[in-house]
Amino acid sequence: MKKMMMMWMAVLGVLSGGFVPALEAAELKFSGDFRVRGIYTDNLFDAADIGDDQEAFADGRFRLKIAATAGITTGIVVVDFTNAFGDPGNADCGRTRCSTGNYRFGSANFGGDYGIVGVREAHLKLDFGDHKVVFGRKQFRLGNSLILDDTMDAVAGKMESGGFDAMLAVGKLLDRNMSGPGNTGGDTDLFIAKVGFAHGGKEGEEASDAHKLGLFSAYLKDRGPFFIPATDDAQIWAVGVTADGRFGPIEAQFEVDTIGGERNFTGTNSVDISGLNLLLGGKVDLGSSADIGLTFLHTRGDEGRADENVITGISGNYVLGNILVNDNLLSDREGQCANVGGGRIGSGAAGCTPGLGITAVKLAVDLPDMTPECDLDVAVIWAKATEPPGGTGERNLGIELDVNMVHKIDEHLNMTVNLGYLFAGNFLEAFGGPGDNIMKAVASLNYTF
């Protein structure tokens, strides 16, 4: 027994002697957030005066990011420790269940634990100075998140020089080898290319003079028939141009996207895929008193034609208001593709597949220094569906009023309150209405470290 103990002590000594220098050589950084929310909604899910759909619940989320750096290599893992509540409204998410990263209070009853840990990101980053290469699952964003803002498995390379940057990425959305040999022909891939040029806003230059131009393209190749339902194969491409600038107290924002492609079916004609998004925004800084912003959003809607599907994105994460174009209750993201109706491509964002589109104008007033610890902003949004429901229905979605408050408790902890009230238009009369006003209130405690 004594010899056995001495042997194990020797083994542990060898192991510790090998691992301790390795641990000392790697720089470890931990960061994350813990969020607890209380939520109340009324008429949010049916938006019609035909029943009682009030809902009140609480949920939480604990997200941890670990980064280990040694030499030119950094390994990054982002974990959702309580990833126990999936989106109950989506049947097309496969293995992922469209996990929300949240756990809803009351999901686990007495004792035990949730028993679910979700890996949101896991990738290696090789830093060669102006050139970087990434392998694994990470976040990819195009423009203002209208087309794409989501995680995926990919190999990506990025180059930066002066104010110029460029990125190429090849993402794997579905690997048919998991279903057996000989199925590689059914893979689904996403190819991304983007370039940008920024000028101004750096130390030593006029902070009031800053501009950035961007151009991106994305190509989704679905070799089918497993990724997009009821489709033998499909191709989707998107091209976008963005421009952002600050000119003295004025900030401007612009994005236009065009989408094309086709869906193919055995023995029948193919269906064209198309789409168009336009985003215009401006904000005036009135000093410490207030900022006033105006946003115009337009996305093309589907006209119900048999030979064309109009989509608004691939997996976007755009937020218009607290109610309109917002998916922060049953999702791992705050926003969605900018659309009225529509569904997901794979397990991506809501509202991307054919819907009615949306046209909206938003006026926002931000009071950033109402008190040293409190920021307040209010907004009014008018919106309509770009295309009428059923081809002949009313398009007016109504007018939304939003109030958002952030109270800073200390350096790491803040409390937010988000209130939204939509005075419903006559849009829902096409569905047997009448429509009813919608209310949504979210209060959250947010701890970051």
Per cent of the chain over pLDDT 70 is 82
Total residue length of the chain: 449
pLDDT category, 309, cuts 50, 70, 90?
very high
Q: Is the pLDDT of residue 220 over 80?
A: yes
Other beta carbons within 10 angstroms of residue 192's beta carbon come to 23
Element (H, E) at 7: helix 2-25
Q: Over the Cα atoms of the chain, what is R_g?
A: 24
Which is higher by pLDDT, 24 or 370?
A: 370
User: What is the overall mean pLDDT for the chain?
Assistant: 85
Each residue of 318-333: b (16+ CB within 10 Å) or e?
Answer: bbbbbbbbbbbbbbbb
- H or E element, residue 35: strand 27-42
Tokens at residue 108, please?
């686990």
Angle at 354 between CA 194 and CA 389, to 5 degrees: 140
What DSSP string describes 41-96? EESTTT-BTTS---EEEEEEEEEEEEEEEETTEEEEEEEETT---B-TT-S--GGG
Distance CA 170, CA 41 (A): 40
- Tokens 């599907």 locate to 309
Closest CA to 255 of 140, 148, 163, 402: 148
> So what's the pLDDT on residue 48?
57
Distances (CA, A) of 360 to 295, 340, 390, 419: 8, 11, 20, 19
Reported pTM: 0.87
Q: Is the pLDDT of residue 27 over 80?
A: yes
Cα–Cα dist 352/257, whole Å: 14
For residue 93, name the pLDDT band (cuts at 50, 70, 90): low
Average pLDDT, stretch 17-41? Answer: 77
Q: Does the pLDDT at position 305 exceed 70?
A: yes
For 261-272, what is each residue's pLDDT tens digit?
999 887 778 899
What tens digit of pLDDT does each residue of 114-164 get?
667 788 999 999 999 999 999 999 999 999 999 999 999 999 999 999 899
Cβ–Cβ < 8 Å for 299, 320: no
Mention every residue, 6+ apart, whose C-beta is less than 8 A from residue 243.
211, 212, 213, 214, 252, 253, 254, 255
Q: Are strands 73-80 and 27-42 parallel, antiparallel or unpaired?
A: unpaired
Say yes or no to pLDDT of 275 above 90: yes
Residue 235, judged by CB atoms within 10 A of its CB (0-12, 13-18, 19+), counts as middle
d(CA 315, CA 349): 5
Residue with tokens 């510790």: 16
Q: Which among 275, 271, 348, 276 is positioned nearest to 305, based on CA atoms?
A: 271
Give all domains of the chain, ordered by start, each with its CATH number: 29-448 (2.40.160.100)
Are 118 and 284 within 8 A, CB to CB? Answer: no
At which residue do the structure tokens 């470290």 appear? Answer: 449
pLDDT digits (tens, 9 = 90+) for 48-71: 556 667 889 998 889 999 999 999
